[in-house]
A and B are shown apart, each in its own frame.
Chain A
């Protein structure tokens, strides 16, 4: 199995620009999670999906953030407009209730820098 794939690995953008982060979960996994990690706030769960349906988006910071999962093999996290305080490492993770109760497999992350 290929692991969770995230792209891009690094993104540098200017304040006000739209940023789209992409994730391909492990095939067969029915849960997908988006996290943000910073030195100040640690690891934060932003949103998670089950069978492509958003279950809990209470961690999404504000309306500038949106996430979609159009099918079982692809998800996006979009920030529009981006701000310097959005600079962080964004992780995507997936899991399967059938293959192991709630253990999550993380991607390598996207390091976002907003100048």
Chain B
């Protein structure tokens, strides 16, 4: 079974500041890990994913995440926030032998001018 915990349902940063959204997972088998972003009135879209190999993965819009097996974490970061980054972000985990993903509760990112 898999589970995801996103720490902090709301995160607020100033424009230009570091963005850090936290995600911890639980999985009984090697996981696939994902971050999705949802802009207002839209569906979720994939931001980045970890499957195998390099533990630091880069995604769209300057975001990146690092898979840390020892910490069971997959935190999302961006060095400098833009106003356009304001959205809801979902972390998800999938077992390598399963079709579905388990999503976290989401973190709403607010960017202040």
On chain B, the number of residues with a Cβ less than 8 Å from chain A's Cβ atoms is 21
List residues of A (60-115) whose CB comes within 8 Å of B's CBs. 91, 93, 95, 97, 100-109
Interface size grouping (class) on chain A: 20 to 34
Pick from B45, B46, B96, B103: contact of A43, CB below 8 A.
Answer: B103
Q: A19 in the interface, Cβ–Cβ < 8 Å?
A: no
In whole angstroms, what is the CA distance A42 to B44 when docked? 13
Other-chain residue from A91, A95, A106, A108 in contact with B99 (beta carbon distance below 8 A): A95
Q: Is the CB of B101 within 8 A of A102?
A: yes
Which B residues are closer than 8 A to A by beta carbons?
Answer: 32, 34, 36, 41-46, 49, 51, 90, 94, 96, 98-101, 103, 105-106
**14 residue pairs bridging A and B, Cβ less than 8 Å apart:** A31-B99, A33-B100, A42-B106, A48-B100, A55-B100, A95-B99, A101-B51, A102-B32, A104-B44, A104-B101, A105-B45, A106-B36, A108-B43, A109-B41
